[in-house]
Structures are given as C-alpha cells and as structure tokens.
C-alpha cells in the first residue's frame, strides 16, 4: 500500500477532523497552517471492539485516524480511540493499522497482537459517519486488508480514571459474535442498518463474510477468512 492510496482514502472526506485552536503556531494545536502531529486530514470511523481475553467484553469505539509514514517502511494509520463523539469524551486507547504485506513481515511472536478487519467491513460492524456513501466504500476498500493492533488503556469505564492493565483488543470475525445491544445502539445513533450495510458491501466486494472463531487464548493468531486451511475468501456465486 502506498501513502497516496491511504491519503486518498482520507482526503476530501466530510469526516476529516480539524482542530479549532486559535493559536496555529507549531506546537500549539491545529487549524490552518498547523504543523504538529495532529495537522492534516483525519478520518473518523466507528467499530465494535472486544477484549481478546474476554470476547464478551465489548465496546462501541470511535476511531480518529491519520495516515502516517513509518520511517520509510510500509504506511499505516495511527488512531486515537474514544468512548463517544461528544465534547469531553474519554480517551480510551490507541490503534495502529498496517497493510497485509507489513503484517506478513512481522516476527512470529508479534503477530498474536494483531487482528484482521475483513469481517468488520463485510459484516457491517465498521462504519464511517460523516463520509458520503462513495467515500465510505473507498475507505472500506483500503481497511479490509489491513491489520490492527489496539489497546484499551481505560479498560473499565466504570472507574473515574483509567485503572488496571491495558486490554488487548480483538476484532469480531463471524456472525453471532457481536453484542446485539451495541449493534442496535450504533444503528440508532447513526441512522444506519446493519442488514443494509452488509447487503451493499456484499454487492461491492462480491465476497461472503468470514467465519472465524473467537480466540481460544491470548496466543491465538488472527485469520482473515476461515478457521482452517488456506485463509482465503469465498466469492459470492
């Protein structure tokens, strides 16, 4: 994946975030002419996260992501995670997204930290509020083959401050794994339909949704499409 492709997935979107700080000097926040790490286009998308150690522990998570060039290596997205879109939302974690090629090159011991996004895209769990339909679909075409490494640093939102060890996050990878209450909350909040999202993406990608089981242990490696055999997609006939 090239930086141009990633920036193309971000540029021109209605979901681009622009900081509103009045001081635009370097080191003093965003706005036109800002040069800090928050300068440039950002994309917002919403997904359902689950703890790898406890798949029943799930979170509706707001991602704010920017494309990043990683010292001459494969490009990636860097994301900050919040529990809502409201002013004063809690910063609950971070996520990095890398290409499939970059994931394949990782050391064997590192891969257990990374999850696939194939089901999140095709199963309708990932949405991009604020983007047009075409912008969202183009963004999903980029994300579907990417791998994520996410940690929730505020693992228990009932606590007044972040407490305890960070949670390694995993992705939903098959039907019946998502908490229906969270799916309904997402659909209601953004005025979307899980069923309609799935239908549109099935038509665009021409692929069946993955059927990958929830992780059996913290050492389980992510798979994109199936539990066993060659990990490849099944076309819709």
Confidence of residue 73 (pLDDT cuts 50, 70, 90): low
At 24-71, the pLDDT tens digits run: 343 434 445 567 776 777 889 999 999 999 999 999 999 999 988 765
Residue-wise DSSP of 78-137: EEEEES-SSTT--EEEEEEEE-HHHHHTS-TTTGGG-EE-HHHHHTT--B-TTS-HHHHH
Quote the CA–CA distance of 124 and 49 in Å, as a whole number: 13
pLDDT greater than 50 at residue 20: no
Name the more confident of 3 and 57.
Answer: 57
Q: Do 118 and 126 meet the contact criterion of CB atoms below 8 Å apart?
A: no
**Phi and psi angles of residue 180, each rounded to the nearest 5 degrees, phi first:** -60, -25
Q: Mean pLDDT over residues 9-22, rounded?
A: 40
Q: Do 120 and 40 meet the contact criterion of CB atoms below 8 Å apart?
A: no
Q: Mean pLDDT over residues 71-81, rounded?
A: 79
Q: What angle do CA 204, 105, 214 make, to 5 degrees?
A: 60
Quote the CA–CA distance of 166 and 130 in Å, as a whole number: 30
Q: What is the pLDDT of residue 57?
A: 97
Quote the CA–CA distance of 223 and 19 in Å, as a whole number: 37
Q: Average pLDDT of the chain?
A: 87
Q: What pTM was estimated for this model as a whole? A: 0.86
> If you search the block for the tokens 């920017």, which residue do you land on?
66
At 107-161, the pLDDT tens digits run: 999 999 999 999 999 999 999 998 999 999 999 999 999 999 999 999 999 999 9
Q: Do 165 and 54 meet the contact criterion of CB atoms below 8 Å apart?
A: no
Q: What is the pLDDT of residue 25?
A: 41
At 187-236, the pLDDT tens digits run: 999 999 999 999 999 999 999 999 999 999 999 999 999 999 999 999 99
Q: Rg of the chain over CA atoms, in angstroms?
A: 17
Name the more confident of 17 and 176.
Answer: 176
């Amino acid at each position: 994946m090239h930086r141009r492709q990633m920036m193309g997935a971000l540029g021109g979107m209605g979901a681009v975030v622009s900081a509103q700080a009045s001081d635009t000097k370097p080191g003093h926040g965003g706005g036109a002419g800002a040069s800090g790490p928050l300068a440039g286009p950002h994309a917002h998308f919403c997904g359902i996260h689950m703890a790898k150690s406890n798949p029943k522990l799930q979170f509706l998570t707001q991602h704010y992501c920017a494309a990043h060039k990683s010292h001459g290596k494969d490009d990636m997205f860097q994301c900050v995670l919040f529990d809502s879109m409201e002013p004063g939302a809690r910063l609950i974690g971070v996520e990095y997204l890398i290409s499939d090629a970059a994931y394949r090159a990782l050391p064997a011991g590192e891969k257990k930290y990374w999850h696939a996004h194939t089901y999140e895209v095709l199963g309708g769990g990932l949405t991009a509020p604020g983007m047009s339909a075409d912008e969202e679909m183009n963004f999903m075409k980029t994300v579907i083959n990417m791998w994520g490494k996410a940690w929730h640093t505020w693992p228990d939102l009932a606590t007044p401050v972040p407490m305890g060890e960070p949670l390694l996050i995993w992705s939903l990878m098959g039907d019946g794994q998502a908490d229906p209450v969270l799916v309904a909350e997402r659909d209601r909040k953004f005025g979307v339909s899980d069923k309609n999202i799935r239908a549109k993406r099935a038509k665009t990608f021409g692929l069946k949704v993955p059927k990958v089981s929830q992780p059996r242990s913290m050492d389980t490696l992510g798979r994109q499409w199936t539990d066993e055999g060659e990990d490849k997609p099944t076309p819709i006939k």
